[in-house]
Structure formats: C-alpha cells, structure tokens
Chains A and B, each alone.
Chain A
Amino acid sequence: DAGITQSPRHKVTETGTPVTLRCHQTENHRYMYWYRQDPGHGLRLIHYSYGVKDTDKGEVSDGYSVSRSKTEDFLLTLESATSSQTSVYFCAISAVGASGTDTQYFGPGTRLTVL
C-alpha cells in the first residue's frame, strides 16, 4: 500500500461547511495526487503536488484547494462543501515500482457525503 493513509475514512457534513481531508505517506515520495471517484465518471484528478509547497490543478479542481507544508502530508480542502462534492476521494503517490518505472499507488479512500 506504499504507506499511504487517509483521514477521515468516512465523513458526513452539511452544505456550506468547510472540510479538510488528509493524506499521509511515510516513504518520502515527492509526487502526491488527489482524485475523486463518481459513478459514471470514473476517477478524475483534482490536484497534484510535485514537492513541498508545489501544487497544481487537475481536471476537476473548481471548489477545491490543497496544501503541502510537509513532504508526508497532502491536504485537500473544500472551502464550502456542496452536494456535488459528495464522492469518494482517493490520494495517490508516484513511486518507482517493480517495473522500474513510475507507478501510482493509491490510499484506501475517504467517503464524503454532503447533505
């Protein structure tokens, strides 16, 4: 599992409230990613990071912000949650795998429900 944990694993919140999801990795990987998974859409990239304080937008970044103040932590924030942000959120890292090339490994996911 490449030492990736996500917290919380489940969260229910109300529309308009701020929410922060945390991704933590223990193996000092440089690249980290946030994806969301929705029925009918598959997984889509929200934001990614290529180092401490270095982040960039993915395909579906509107309504989300990220921060990476330490190598091991990548935070995803919903400033004002909406029902359309109800989803399963996955964190991933990129590491050299058994094939000898960059491979992405995923965390267990966070199920977020916005009422």
Chain B
Amino acid sequence: KQEVTQIPAALSVPEGENLVLNCSFTDSAIYNLQWFRQDPGKGLTSLLLIQSSQREQTSGRLNASLDKSSGRSTLYIAASQPGDSATYLCAVRDSGGGADGLTFGKGTHLIIQP
C-alpha cells in the first residue's frame, strides 16, 4: 500500500526566504505526483504536476522536483511572501493512471511572517 509522508509538518519563516518542502513515498511505481495548496476552510488548488518520466516542473516562483527511484519530491518556493501561507499537500497517483485515486500526505502547514 502506497504511503506518502511530508516533512516538516509545520514551518514558519520570515518573508523573503527561499524554502523547501519535502515529500516521500514508499512505492516508486507512480504515474504522477501532484502538489496542491489548500487555504483554511477552502478546497485544493493544483500547483504543479510531475509525470513519472519527468524530473521537475516550474511555475513562477515554484519548482517541484521528482526522484522516482528514491521515492522523493521537493517543492521549492523562492522569495516567499505572506500570501504563500497555506497548507501544501503532496499526492501520488499509482502506476496505471486511469481511474486511480490519489494517495495524499498529511501536508505541510506553512506560515510566512511579514
């Protein structure tokens, strides 16, 4: 059974810092990996998706990397801003795609101090 772990569970940093969120998964036979953002009381917003054949994806100040063989992904946030404060979730889709649901980590709660 796939298990996804996110470290740290919570992180508080001053504005302007670059930071890294970590995600690990136990079964490397994944179809893709997705990073989401969730604001309090809200739904999930997809940030980046990395296919199993890719090493990284970038969107603005966000960069996600994937090392499938070691079961790890990182989300790099450059020049953090208070508006980046949210919970960040990592989720994997197991090999086969199709109807497969996602297996989620428990998230990293991020606070950016002004």
Contacts and interface: CB of A to CB of B under 8 A. Distances in A.
Interface of A: 1, 31, 33, 35, 40-45, 48-50, 56, 58-59, 90, 92, 94, 97, 99, 101-109
B24 interface: no
Given A42-B107, A109-B43, A97 B49 contact: yes
Interface in B73-114: 89, 91, 93, 97-99, 101-107
A33 to B, nearest CB: 5
Contacts of A35: 101-102
A99 B98 contact: no
Contacts of B104: 42-44
A97 B46 contact: yes
Contact of B102 (A43, A50, A97, A107): A43
A31 B99 contact: yes
A94 B49 CA distance: 13
B28 interface: no
B106 A101 contact: no
B22 interface: no
Grouping DSSP codes into helix (H, G, I), strand (E, B) and loop, the B interface class, with mixed when no group exceeds half, is: strand
A103 B49 contact: yes
B32 to A, nearest CB: 6
Interface of B: 31-32, 34, 36, 42-44, 46, 49, 51, 57, 89, 91, 93, 97-99, 101-107
A97 B47 CA distance: 11
Contacts of B99: 31, 48-50, 56, 94
Given A41-B106, A99-B57, A107 B43 contact: yes
B101 A48 contact: yes
26 contacts: A31-B99, A35-B101, A35-B102, A42-B106, A43-B44, A43-B89, A43-B102, A43-B104, A44-B104, A48-B101, A50-B98, A56-B99, A90-B43, A92-B102, A94-B99, A97-B46, A97-B49, A99-B57, A101-B49, A101-B97, A102-B31, A102-B93, A103-B34, A104-B102, A108-B42, A108-B43
| 6 shortest interchain CB distances as A-B pairs | A45-B101, A50-B99, A106-B44, A42-B106, A43-B104, A42-B104
